[in-house]
Amino acid sequence: MSDRWPEVVVAIGVQHLWQSAVLLLLALLVFRLRRPSARARSWMWLCVLLLAAVSPLAVLLPGDASTAGPTANAPLATIAPAARATTVASVVAGDALPTRAMLAGLQPIVLLAWVLGTLWSLGRLWAGWYRARRLRDTSRSSPHLERLVRSELPANATVRVSTGIRSPMVVGLAHPCILVPRALVAELSEAALRDVLRHEIAHVRRGDMAWSLVQHVLVAVYWWNPFLRLIASRLDLAREMACDAFAAARTGVGRHYANSLLRSAEQALLLPDPLVLASGIFAGRAGLHQRIEGLLEMDKHAVSPRGKPALLLFGLMLASSVTLTLAATPRMGAPDDEVPASLRMADARLLVEAAGGGRLDEVRALLRRGADIDAVVPGDGTALIAAARAGDLPMITALLRMGADVNRPARGDGNPLIMAAMGGHREAVALLLDSGASVDAIVPGDETALINAARHGHLPVVERLVAHGADVNLGVRADFGQWRSPLNQARGREVREYLIGRGAVPGNG
């Protein structure tokens, strides 16, 4: 697959686009039918985001993707195996559809745009991380604020006051720091400040900073996908609503925390914060109306009676999505033994014909499409046998460099050395021997290379084989019990005299 990685990456992008759209629609449908708690909803949206990111990697799985039919404008690598033989034949014949050729030519441009956009997005993410560190380093400790939530503040977390932000936020992974704007400390009462701090403590307890980092990296990688951005925005809102619920539960009454939220919003939403990698009470700058409604709803239903049905429905949705992904995603990592036998044989025939005809470009194209270089075609042998039969030195050299087995036999067609010897191709024989061909290899029904060279009277080939160590007395028993040896099969006086001079003796085996 290494030489097809551009096709693989483009295929991953195509699969990611439709899979994320399906996941988004299914999740919205589930939440409309059954509304789970804010906490459960936040983790559900996180599952949707992660599944949308990893689902397209199914193209790398082994298996048969025959259920994914070809499309007129799809890249060759995404076409289902059911159409692969026809596609390969048209490609090697030079009559591929212009749209496919055009898409193949656009792949490098698409990949370059993808990489550059990802690097830009990751650069912005790094800038946000750097900005968060600067804010933490320039902030000042606040023992007063820490005392307000002493019993609730995690041991590894601190509370500090900053003049560089407009809304409270959490920065840092291993040692999270809750930053509170100095202006907000001056404006809010202790009760409201405690509510705001509890919201940020919820982020710390949930590990939202780590998950937020994962989310931002995935969005940076798939920066071009609007569906993933919609999923991420809903995850942001669900995360804030989950932390609202946590803080409101500590307050006891949802509308009391809602009042604190609104009072802090009056100050925090005046100006946007600069790009910061952080989790904050107004990180999304949207959904405040939904958050207030959710808090007021808490006062009506302390425990949602629809929580378990929502979880069951969501689990069914995930299972359906995974099933659809596995069924509809074309597999580009499929090993040859997963391809139907009829398609493997069709590829093998094309490969042997191209090798025997000296069409090296076609051979390379077929190998790139997954043809087995050592596949045996009854009546024709392997690609290397076909090239050896023709005595095609460039083709033999190319096939050997591409990994062809120099000793692969095929009943009725011998092996590469036998075919080269039978045809009297001395240079081809020498090349195969130098490449590791077994000089005395016996193929049932086809004897040895020396017997075949002697039978056809090719004295130069006989000399080359004997010089390489061929046994002049090595014979085989034929189908009807007849003994065949280089000497009794030799054609021509010169060949017989040469063999006798090298120690060949008459015999019946």
Q: Which range (240-249, 300-309, 456-465) has the least confidence?
A: 300-309
Question: pLDDT, tens digit, for every residue of 380-405?
Answer: 999 999 999 999 999 999 999 999 99
pLDDT for position 311:
77
pLDDT-derived band of residue 436, with 50, 70 and 90 as boundaries? very high
- The distance of Cα 431 from the centroid of its chain, to the nearest Å, equals 40
Residue 110: pLDDT band by 50, 70, 90 thresholds?
A: confident
Pick the more confident residue, 98 or 41. Answer: 41
Nearest to 40 by CA among 294, 398, 373: 294
Q: Using 50, 70 and 90 to split pLDDT, how confident is the model at 509?
A: low
Q: Residue 431 is encoded by which pair of tokens?
A: 């090349």
Q: Mean of the pLDDT values across residues 474-482?
A: 78
Amino acid at 250: R
User: To which H or E segment does residue 476 belong?
Assistant: strand 476-477
pLDDT at 320: 82
The pLDDT tens digits of the residues spanning 14-36 come to 888 888 999 999 888 888 887 78
Which ranges of 68-97 does DSSP label H, i.e. alpha helix?
A: 84-93
Instruction: List the domains of the chain with CATH numbers.
Output: 2-328 (no CATH), 340-501 (1.25.40.20)
- Residue 132 in contact with residue 151, Cβ under 8 Å? no
The CA-based angle 436-440-443, given to 5 degrees, is 100
Res. 72 pLDDT band, cuts 50 70 90: very low
Is the model's pLDDT at 305 over the cut of 50?
Answer: no
Q: Give backbone dihedrals phi and psi of 342, rounded to 5 degrees, phi first.
A: -65, -35
SS3 content of the chain, % helix, strand, coil (to 5): 60, 5, 30
Range from 62-66, 153-157, 361-365 carrying the lowest mean pLDDT:
62-66
Give the residue among 360, 238, 229, 363 at the shortest CA–CA distance from 290: 238
pLDDT over threshold 90, residue 257: no
- The set of long-range contacts for 438-442, using a CB threshold of 8 Å and a minimum separation of 24, is 438/407, 439/465, 439/468, 439/469, 439/470, 440/469, 440/470, 440/471, 440/474, 441/407, 441/409, 441/415, 441/417, 442/474, 442/476
| pLDDT at residue 352 in the model | 93
- Flag whether pLDDT at 65 surpasses 50: no
**CB count in 10 Å sphere of residue 107:** 16
Give the single-character DSSP code of 167.
S
Q: How far is CA 160 from the centre of its chain?
A: 43
Q: Binning pLDDT at 50, 70 and 90, where does residue 355 land?
A: very high
Which residue, among 321, 370, 316, has the nearest Cα to 346 in the 3D structure? Answer: 370
* Element spanning 169, H or E: strand 169-171
Helix (H), strand (E), coil (C) string for 174-225 = CCCEEEEEHHHHHHCCHHHHHHHHHHHHHHHHHCHHHHHHHHHHHHHHCCCC
Instruction: Say what the pLDDT of residue 497 is.
Output: 92
Read off the pLDDT band of 82 (50, 70, 90).
Answer: very low
Q: What is the DSSP string of 289-303?
A: HHHHHHHHHHHH-SS
Residue with tokens 């400390």: 185
Tell me the average pLDDT of the chain.
80
| Predicted local confidence at residue 243, as pLDDT | 87
In this prediction, residues 82-90 reach a mean pLDDT of 38
Average confidence (pLDDT) over 304-327:
75
**Model pLDDT for residues 402-427, shown as the tens digit of each residue:** 999 999 999 888 999 999 999 999 99
Query: How confident is the model at residue 37, as a pLDDT?
Result: 82
Question: Which helix H or strand E contains 465, and what residues bound it?
Answer: helix 459-467
- How much is the pLDDT for 433? 94
Confidence grade of residue 39 (pLDDT, cut at 50, 70, 90): confident
- Which H or E run includes 355? helix 341-356
Per DSSP, the residues of 316-345 read HHHHHHHHHHHHHSPPSS--GGGS-HHHHH
CA distances from 437 to 274, 432, 483 (A): 70, 5, 24
The pLDDT value recorded for residue 274 is 53
Confidence at residue 79, expressed as pLDDT on a 0 to 100 scale? 33
Residue 262 pLDDT level (bands cut at 50, 70, 90): low
* pLDDT surpassing 50 at residue 12: yes
Taking residues 218-229, report their average pLDDT: 94
Helix (H) or strand (E) holding 404: none
- Does the global pTM surpass 0.75? no
The CA angle 139-142-147, to the nearest 5 degrees, is: 150
